[in-house]
Structure 1
Amino acid sequence: MRARMISQYKLVSYLVTPLFSLFLGTRATKPR
């Protein structure tokens, strides 16, 4: 049970990290 939760969390973080970095990159390059 716990192993599956950890694997799911890993998958989610793996998918979210690029999106988050991309979001931060756009925020950093584009001025408000």
Structure 2
Amino acid sequence: MAFRVPTPNVSVVDLTCRLEKGASYEDVKAAIK
């Protein structure tokens, strides 16, 4: 997988996880914060 990020102060994270229970994108964002 390749990303081209044209600005010097941006980071990219490729996160893959397996969950026992279903979770929405909003649930995942809230857990990471």
Q: What TM-score results when the alignment is normalised by the length of structure 2?
A: 0.26
Structure number with higher relative contact order (C-alpha < 8 Å, ≥ 6 residues apart): 2
Bigger Rg over Cα: 1
* Bigger helix share: 1
